[in-house]
Amino acid sequence: MEMEGKVLVGTYARNPVVISSGKGCKLYDPEGREYLDCTSGIAVNALGHGDTDWVKAVVEQANLLTHVSNVFYSVPQVELARLLVACSFADRVFFSNSGTEANEAAIKFARKYQRFTNPDEKQQATEFISFSNSFHGRTMGALALTSKENYRFPFEPVMPGVNFLEYGDVQAATELIKSGRIAAVFVEPIQGEGGIYSATKEFLQSLRSACDDAGSLLVFDEVQCGLGRTGYLWAHEAYGVVPDIMTLAKPLAGGLPIGASLVSEKVAAAIKYGDHGSTFAGGPLVCNAAIAVLDKISKPDFLASVSKKGEYFKELIMHKLGGNSHVREVRGFGLIIGIELDVSASPLIDACRDSGLLILTAGKGNVVRLVPPLIISEQELERAAEIMLECLPALDKTN
């Protein structure tokens, strides 16, 4: 920890814990202390730590081929794309290295789509809609779509043309889309960083309808809420609304860096050679790891288990913590759950860590974010709820 302060750029306010190993839903520090992991590396380690099939896929591919760039074809990349197309609305896939890169690709694709489909328009649709409490990434385009002003302000001017509306405001979104200025609407079906807010079916359906009428694209950011986290393979399946573009990243390769922008054929038709690219994206190693992850998570029995455990965990939390005066609301579904407090969540996060449970904050720092590995057992969920209950008095002491 002391050395970190001397050699790394100070962008992270880290927890005072060094993690040296992990297995399943448990993490260990160098002294062997055990922690129950309800962070999943920020919703990344969906299969937990050290999954045997994932390890096998990585080791076998590392012995064959790790990287060739996109100058050449490679089998794992094409196979992963085929699987993603087969289990989603999409016709084609663009691979990147992270969620923010997946959203940057979606920004470019939306702009190019408008230019491609309306070449004679003097006034192209180049603007975007994003929503309150949104988080789409930290590079300049994705940052421009992220609602928290303190994230954007130090780096302004960011990409212009982004309109922020209230999450769930059907009328305001419909009216702005009708203006004809909007290239694409970016929305998270369930907001993660923003505080675990779920969209309504009416809201997403209204966005779909308005985009269809105006020729705007609808982009679902499922970087955190997608790929089994909700108990559905894709979060938008719960709403019966299909996007034109869906961005993925966090859990897709089980801990290795990958992003993906899944698109319909009409969007793909606008993209030509040289319009976008990446040296590392879609490499054989990371794609083979992702195939192993997707193969497990996409199974109906696995998804059903996530739904069941999610319902059980939410009921546990409401039963054990719901009566506390600091707890305002418990929300989310599947294994993405938020506990909104009337005070800062930091004292509870710290107390839980000291008691062997790792959890996250969200929103304005007053939401406890629970995104455990999707393989977590009911017994481990019970232990997590018990530790949080035991640590609740920390909120009274500190606030």
Maximum Cα–Cα distance across the chain: 66
**Number of Cα atoms under 13 Å in the Cβ half of residue 64:** 14
| Residues 60 and 184 both lie in one domain | yes
Identify the CATH number of the domain in which residue 179 sits.
Answer: 3.40.640.10
Residues 285 and 312 in one domain: no
Q: In what order do the strands lie in the sheet with 127-131?
A: 92-96, 259-263, 245-248, 217-221, 182-187, 127-131, 162-165
E strand or H helix at 127: strand 127-131
Residues 176 and 207 in one domain: yes
Q: Is 288 in the same domain as 349?
A: no
Domain match, 144 and 110 both: yes
According to DSSP, residue 376 is labeled -
- Sign of the torsion formed by the C-alpha atoms of 115, 202, 42 and 248: negative
In a shared domain, residues 258 and 354:
no
- Domain's final residue, options 297, 323, 357: 297
Ordered alpha helix ranges (H), the chain: 4-7, 40-43, 52-64, 75-86, 99-117, 140-144, 149-152, 170-178, 201-214, 265-268, 284-297, 300-321, 346-354, 378-391, 393-398
Residue type, 121: E
Q: How far apart are CA 201 and CA 342, in angstroms?
A: 28
Are 283 and 307 members of one domain?
no
End of a domain among 237, 264, 297?
A: 297
Are residues 19 and 74 part of one domain? no
Question: Does 223 lie in the same domain as 136?
Answer: yes
| pLDDT at site 123 | 85
pLDDT of residue 214: 97
Portion of the chain with pLDDT greater than 90, in percent: 97
The verdict on 17 and 130 lying in the same domain is no
| pLDDT at residue 98 in the model | 98
Average pLDDT over residues 335-346: 97
Residue 399: the pLDDT is 54
Residue 99, C-beta contacts closer than 8 angstroms, at least 6 positions apart? 136, 137, 142, 221, 223, 224, 247, 248, 249, 250, 259
Is the backbone peptide bond immediately before 157 cis, with ω within 30 degrees of 0? Answer: yes
Q: Are residues 104 and 193 in the same domain?
A: yes
pLDDT in tens, 32-47: 999 999 999 999 999 9
CATH of the domain at 361: 3.90.1150.10
Q: Give 101-136 pLDDT, tens digit per residue.
A: 999 999 999 999 999 999 887 888 999 999 999 999
Q: Mean pLDDT, to the nearest integer, of 322-341?
A: 96
Give the number of domains in the chain: 2
Domain that holds residue 341: 4-51+300-398
Q: What is the pLDDT of residues 45-102, one digit of tens each?
A: 999 999 999 999 999 999 999 999 999 999 999 999 999 999 999 999 999 999 999 9
Residue 398: what pLDDT? Answer: 58
Asked if residue 202 and residue 60 are part of one domain, the reply reads: yes
Residue ending a domain, among 264, 297, 330, is 297
Tell me: the pLDDT tens digits for 142-173? 999 999 999 999 999 999 999 999 999 999 99
